[in-house]
Structure 1
């Protein structure tokens, strides 16, 4: 290694460290938990907004489905959702993942046209779907005087077996 290369690496590392250590947070509010900010991000705790508006929780609602049979052809498979926010301005996105992690179906609901509690269906086909354990993920976005809020429901699981 030549002295020029060695000094270039040292200067690059120093510049990187200076940039990381002097970075100014985008949000001026104090973090809600002690492991936020740079340390929390490195360790995987908290979100980019300090964890204030994005949490994985059941307090904002939930989803669910019963175990069943993965029938031949394309069919509707029922599930339910409950939205538990005080706002009348919300949207809910649901995603159905199969056992391989692929999203095989989804749904979208809004306060303007859908109730806060309902039974709906995912439609998918057996020829492109594996039997086994399925996961329902749901993302709720709602708005109030404080602005936009986002919450991911705890995932729920159900099984579909071959006949």
Structure 2
């Protein structure tokens, strides 16, 4: 009877003992990444050197947007030689033209002559997950009018 109890204990213990498992990986496996293609986008800004005219006058600069997507934004700021913002404009595709001329107003009495910088941040969107941005800068001079 002792042998039956001993055999029963061995079978019970054998059923309770853990079976060795294969070793777990130590390096986490990265999830598969979907290949995201960037949307092609480029932009230009262009302004000519000129003279600050008497009074408050309109001045002009040209812009152009090249994008595979019709959904884009072009945020443009104009800063004077002291890095003070003197104008800003935003364009939205497909509502605004991809190229054109914009105007801004300066008053000679409140404006210091010198170098001005146009900075444009162009962002193109493709769906909700793809976004491509590029920054464009252009500098030009406005001199005081000779007397």
- Among 117, 134, 143, the alignment partner of 1:151 is 134
**1:136 is aligned to 2:90:** no
The equivalent residue for 1:121 is 103
Q: How does 1:1-150 map to 2 (within 5 A)?
A: 60-145=42-127, 146-150=129-133
With normalisation by structure 2, the TM-score equals 0.66
Check whether the contact 1:107–1:122 (CA below 8 A) recurs between aligned residues.
Answer: no
Task: Give the Cα separation in 2 of the matches to 1:86 and 1:124.
Answer: 35
SS of alignment partner, residue 60 of structure 1: strand
1:45 corresponds to: none
Structure 2, gaps ≥5 residues long:
1-32
RMSD, aligned α-carbons: 2.2
Structure 1 gap segments, 5+ residues each? 1-28, 30-52, 54-58
- How far 1:148 moved relative to its partner? 2.4
Q: Secondary structure at the match of 1:127?
A: helix
Q: CA deviation at 1:111?
A: 1.1
Contact 1:95 1:103 in 2 (8 A): yes
More strand by share: 2
Number of residue pairs the alignment of both structures matches: 108
Length-normalised TM-score, structure 1: 0.60
Higher helix share: 1
